[in-house]
Amino acid sequence: MRLRALAKINLGLDILGKREDGYHEVRMIMQTIQMYDVLEIKKKKAPGISLSVNYPYIPCDERNLVYKAAKLLMDEFQVKGGVTIRLEKFIPVAAGMAGGSSDAAATLVGINRLFKLGLSERELMDRAVKIGADVPYCIMRGTALAEGIGEKLTGITQVPECFVLIGKPGINVSTRAAYESLNLSGIQNHPDIDGMIQDIQNGDLQGMTAKMGNVFEPGIIGQYPVIQEIKDLMESHGALKAMMSGSGPTVFGIFDSQEKMDAAAKILRESNLAKTVFGTRVFNRI
């Protein structure tokens, strides 16, 4: 069984406060994009999970979210036999694009189908949050408002047609460290998430991009100025708006034409500011 695990960007990311368990209350607009890892899942006779990944520095044991996801369902349903999983990564790692979360989501969907466990999407999403706050969204996909710690999801109309340029500098940011270094009372500009939803519903791309904001940006850009340089390059070469995704460091630019995006991609590649440059589109839930 072959599955695609799609990446996400955060069109808007606001943080409202910190909970007693250390997690943060968020309000985010999530968007799936057509950039993905590929998973090949097969049954095997012998029990256990055999995982292999195309990068040597990514763990293949319990530390991998794919392994955790497979184990969670296989233990609960006492599955006889085991699985062999091959993961081919294309989504940049520790990038703010939910690569690992999406791999875990695809694994839950795959194991459910392969062993005919009969779980509904809702039932899979309830289990997904045990693996990570973004994993339920990665099962749902499309355009959504995410609240709570990211697991309370409300679908939104698809965004107006646009093109998305990804630029990831050659640094990695830990999500946990980004949340820990956040100064909640010092947040100056909270993005207008409700206004963005209105604009999306009205098909107003200009309005939506004008309201985009991510409260992680000031802190992370303070540590890594290259993020600002990539944003500036995209915005001076045709992006309606360029912003950091999630806890960073990936920057995405929103364009209203493929030609403009391709031209900006060429300049970004030549600049050597970004290690990964990839032009793509949004993915819509049918």
Ligand X SMILES: Nc1ncnc2c1ncn2[C@@H]1O[C@H](COP(=O)(O)OP(=O)(O)O)[C@@H](O)[C@H]1O
Q: Please, what is the minimum distance in Å from the beta carbon of residue 206 to ligand X?
A: 28
- Tokens representing residue 109 in the block: 């969907």
Q: Give yes or no for a contact between 247 and 169, defined as CB atoms under 8 angstroms apart.
A: no
Q: Which of 17, 22, 118, 186 binds ligand SUD (CB under 6 A)?
A: 22
Contact characters 79-98, ligand X, x per CB under 6 A:
----------x---xxxxxx
Q: Which does 225 bind (CB under 5 to 8 A by kind): ligand SUD, ligand X, none?
A: none
Q: What span, in angstroms and rounded, lies between the C-alpha atoms of 129 and 133?
A: 5
- What DSSP string describes 29-87? EEEEEEEEEEEEEEEESSSEEEEEESSTTS--STTSHHHHHHHHHHHHTT-SSEEEEEE
Residue 187 sits in the site that holds ligand SUD (CB under 6 A)? no
Q: Which of 5, 74, 109, 133 binds ligand SUD (CB under 6 A)?
A: 133
Residue 132 sits in the site that holds ligand SUD (CB under 6 A)? yes
> Which residues face 83 on adjacent strands?
43, 49
Q: What span, in angstroms and rounded, lies between the C-alpha atoms of 196 and 210?
A: 9
Residue 142 sits in the site that holds ligand X (CB under 6 A)? no
Catalytic-labelled residue, pool 37, 134, 168, 211: 134
| Feature table: binding site for ATP | 92-102
Residue 8 is among the residues annotated as catalytic for this protein: yes
Enzyme catalytic residues: 8, 134
Which residues of the shown chain bind ligand X in the complex (CB under 6 A)? 58-59, 63-66, 89, 93-101, 103, 175, 246
